[in-house]
Amino acid sequence: MLTILSCVALDHSYPLLLAALAVCILGSVLTMRLYARVRRTQGVQKLHWLFLSGCIGGSTIWSTHFIAMISYRMSLDHAYDPFMSLLSLAIAVGFTLFGFGITAGRQTGATIEVGGGIVGLGIVAMHYVGMAAFLVEGFKTWDPVLTAVAMVLSVGFGAVATNRIARPVTRFCKYGGATSLILAIVSLHFTAMAGMTIVPDPTVLIPDMGVSDSVLVAMVLLIMAVMMALGASAYIIDLNSNQLAAERYRHLSRHDALTGLPNRDALHEHVGETMRQPRDDTARMAVVAIGVNRFKDVNDAHGQAVGDRVLREIAEKVSGVLQTGEFLARNGGDEFVAVLDQFFMKADAKEFAERILTAVNLPMDLEGRPFRVTASAGIALFPGSGQTATDLLTQADLAMQRAKSTGPTAVRFYKPSMDAATRDRSLLSIDLHHAIDRGELELYYQPQNDALSRDIIGYEVLLRWRHPTRGMVSPVEFIPLAERTGFIQTLGDWVLETACREASSWAQPLRIAVNVAPAQLADRLLPHRVRDILLQTGLSADRLELEITESGIIGDQQHALHIIRQLKAMGVKIAMDDYGTGYSSLSTLQNFPFDKIKIDRSFVDGIGRSRPAEAIVRSTIILARSLDIPVLAEGVETEEHMTFLRGEGCLQVQGYLFGKPQPLSDIKTAVMTAVEIELSLDDDETVDPSPLSPAVAA
C-alpha cells in the first residue's frame, strides 16, 4: 500500500493527475448511466445504447490511462507508439462492448458479474498494451505480486459496477456502479504503475515515429471530448424525449380523449385549487354542471359516431366563448362542467351559465342538415354549503338534474331545500367520497366451489360500506352514486388493491374475482393500474379474475377488446358476469376471449320452478362447453339447484348453499391453512409464482 501511495504522491504531476481523475469520473458516470439505459431498452435501440456505452467506457479507460502516463515524472527521454496506442483504445472499447453486451438482457444469474469482470479484464489488457506503446530509453520490469493485485482489483470492481446497476437495492446504486468503475480504472493503473520499474539503458533508442507528450495529450483530449460530447448529447436528448413523453402521458391522463378538454381528475384538481386560493371577502366561485338534453336519443337515432361528433362540437363552441378566469371540463358522458373562478354578484354566475347554454344551442351541421341540441345547467357556489371540490360538483350536478326536469334550457342554483330524496342521495354521495379515508369500507368474500368435490376454488370480492350513522349501506345504493359522480374509478382501484393485498397473504393460492365497472373498463389506463397493483401487492396475476358485464363492452367493443387483451397478456383472467340479463349475444362470446361465464342468479333461482329459466341455464352450459369456456352458476341455494347443475355439466358454483359473503376475519381459517388441495382449474392453467406473466415482466 505504501508503495502505491508513494507512486501516486511522488511520481506524478498533480495538475495532470487531477485532469486524469476528472476525465475518469465524468466518463465513468456517463458510461454507467448509458449502461443502465441499455438494460431498460429493447431491439435496435438497445444496440445503439450498447455501442455508445462501449465507446464512451472504452474511451474513458484509455484517456485516463494516457493522461495519467503523461503526468508520470521521469528524467529519461520517452515517446509513444501511435499504432500501439490506438490498438489499446480498440481493446478497451472492444472489451467494454463485450462485457456490457453479454449482460444487457440478463436479469438473473452470474452473467451480470462475469460481464463486469470482462470489462475489468479489458482495463488490464488496455493498460499493458498501452504500456507497450510507452517507448523509453531503458527496459520496463514488473512486480508479479502487484501485477496480480492490480488485475484482481480491476476485475473485482468491474463485476461490482455491473452488479450495482443490474441488481439495485436502493436508489443510490446508480452511483455505486459509477464509483466501482472509477475504482476499477484507478486501482489498476496506479497499482500496476507502482509495480513497474524502468532500468535505464542508453543503447535503447526511441524510434522517430514516436509521438511526444504534447501530441498525445492533444489526441487523447480530442478523442475523449468527441466521445463525451456524443454520449452526453445522446443521453440528454433521450432524457428530454422521456420527459416530453412523460408530460404527454400526464396530459393524456388528465384530458378527455374525445373532446380534448380536461377530464374529471383535472376538474377536481382545478376546483380544489381555486377553492384554496385567497380571495376578497365578497368574491365567490361558481361551478356549473351542464347536461345535454336527450342525448341518448341522439345516439340511438344517429349512432355513437354522430353522438361523439356532437360532443366534440359542443366542447369547441363552449371553449370559444370562455374568457379569462373561466374553465371547462368534460365530466363524462353528456355532462360538462364549467368553473367561474371569481365573481361578485349572483347574476354574474347566471349570465356565465346562460352564455354557455347559448353556445351549446348554436346550430351545427349534421350530415348536411342543420342540427341543434339543448342543455340545462345547475350552479353551485363557493363559499356555500359545500366544503370540498367533491361537495361542489355533487351540488352542481344535483341542481342540473333539477334544471333538466324544469325545462330544456333551464338554469338552477343549488339549494339545500331541494327534494329530500335527492338531497339524501347527494349527502350519501359526499359521505361516500370520504368513506375510504375514514376506513368505513371493507371487503367481504363469498366462496366459489367445485361442483363435484365442493372444494373452495376461489372467492368473489364484494364491497361493503359500514356508514357511521346509517349502518350497512347496500351496494345497490352507493355503486350508482359512485358511477354518477365519477368516484367509481377511485372506488374500483381501492377494491382491487385491497383485495390483491389481502389475497397475497393467504397460504392457499386461491383465485379472487373482482368486479370491474363499465367506467373502469372504458379507461385506457386500466391495464397499467392493474399491473402496478399486482407488482405492489405481489399477487400472482393468474390468481386475479376480473368480472365484467356486457353493458361494459357494448358501447365501444374495439376499445373493450383492446383493454381485455392487455389484461389477459398479463395473465389476468376475464369473466363475463350476469350472463343472460343483458344483450348476451353470441357475437360477444365469439369475439371476446372470456375465461369464464357466470350465469346470473335470477335464472338459477328458477330451477325447479320455471322451465324457461332451466332452458336458459341448460343452453348457456351447452354453448359455453362448445366454446370451451368454463361456467359458474351464481345463486345456488338448494341441493335441487346442485343436482340440476351437476347433471347439466356445470363445474363451478357459488351461493348461500356454500356460504354467505363474509369479512376476511371469518374466512382466515380457510385461506390461511397451508394444506394441499386440488383446485378445479382449466387443464392449461398453472399457478405462476411471479406477480406477472413472463411476457409482461420482461
Query: What would the pLDDT profile of 203-257 be if each residue is shown by its tens digit?
Result: 776 776 767 777 777 777 777 777 777 777 777 776 766 666 666 666 667 788 8
Q: Do residues 400 and 377 make contact, with C-beta atoms less than 8 angstroms apart?
A: yes
Quick one: CA torsion of 172, 178, 182, 184, rounded to 10 degrees? 100
Q: Do residues 607 and 613 make contact, with C-beta atoms less than 8 angstroms apart?
A: yes
Whether pLDDT at 516 is above 80? yes
Instruction: State the pLDDT at residue 25.
Output: 92
Q: Which three cell numbers stand for residue 512?
A: 379472487
Q: Which three cell numbers stand for residue 483?
A: 358511477
H/E element, 471: strand 471-473
- Coil, strand, or helix at residue 695? helix
Instruction: State the pLDDT at residue 47.
Output: 86
- Average pLDDT for 484-508: 91
From 440, 404, 386, 397, select the one nearest 422 (Cα to Cα).
397
Non-local CB neighbours of 170 within 8 Å, separated by 6+ positions: none
- Coil, strand, or helix at residue 646? helix
Q: Which of 79-83, 451-455, 646-650 has the lowest mean pLDDT?
A: 79-83
- DSSP classification of residue 205: P
Confidence of residue 198 (pLDDT cuts 50, 70, 90): confident
- Coil, strand, or helix at residue 141? strand
Strands 544-548 and 511-515: parallel
Whether pLDDT at 449 is above 90? yes
CA separation for the pair 445, 457 (Å, rounded): 12
- Average pLDDT for 407-435: 79
Instruction: State the pLDDT at residue 639.
Output: 92
Where is mean pLDDT largest: 252-256, 370-374, 427-431, 446-450? 446-450
Instruction: State the pLDDT at residue 245.
Output: 62
Q: Do residues 471 and 670 make contact, with C-beta atoms less than 8 angstroms apart?
A: no
Q: Do residues 477 and 428 make contact, with C-beta atoms less than 8 angstroms apart?
A: yes
Residue with cell 360538483: 393
What is the radius of gyration, based on Cα positions, of the chain? 35
Instruction: Tell me the CA distances in angstroms from 378 to 351, 443, 592, one per residue in order.
Output: 12, 35, 40
Q: How many percent of the chain have pLDDT more than 70? A: 86
Per the model's pLDDT, the better-predicted residue between 583 and 70 turns out to be 70
CA separation for the pair 534, 496 (Å, rounded): 9
CA separation for the pair 91, 638 (Å, rounded): 79
Instruction: Tell me the CA distances in angstroms from 664 to 446, 459, 478, 502, 611, one per residue in order.
Output: 10, 11, 22, 8, 38
- Coil, strand, or helix at residue 432? helix
Instruction: Name 450's bridge partners.
Output: 652
From 641, 542, 544, select the one nearest 599 (Cα to Cα).
641
Strands 544-548 and 573-579: parallel
What domains are defined for the chain?
A: 2-228 (no CATH), 264-418 (3.30.70.270), 428-680 (3.20.20.450)
Non-local CB neighbours of 315 within 8 Å, separated by 6+ positions: 259, 260, 261, 328, 330, 336
Instruction: Tell me the CA distances in angstroms from 690 to 112, 498, 535, 547, 572, one per residue in order.
Output: 21, 18, 9, 22, 12
CA separation for the pair 634, 681 (Å, rounded): 18
Q: Do residues 540 and 574 make contact, with C-beta atoms less than 8 angstroms apart?
A: no
Q: Do residues 579 and 598 make contact, with C-beta atoms less than 8 angstroms apart?
A: yes
Q: Do residues 549 and 495 make contact, with C-beta atoms less than 8 angstroms apart?
A: no
319-367 tens-digit pLDDT: 888 888 889 998 888 889 999 988 888 888 899 999 999 888 887 776 6
From 395, 401, 469, select the one nearest 438 (Cα to Cα).
469
CA separation for the pair 103, 58 (Å, rounded): 17
Instruction: State the pLDDT at residue 37.
Output: 84
**What amino acid occupies position 289?**
A
CA separation for the pair 653, 647 (Å, rounded): 13
CA separation for the pair 407, 515 (Å, rounded): 37
Phi, psi of 663 (to 5 degrees): -70, 165
What is the reported pTM?
Answer: 0.44
Q: Do residues 432 and 466 make contact, with C-beta atoms less than 8 angstroms apart?
A: no
- Average pLDDT for 590-610: 87
H/E element, 555: none
Provide the strand spans (E) within 567-624: 573-579, 596-599
Non-local CB neighbours of 102 within 8 Å, separated by 6+ positions: 111, 114, 115, 118
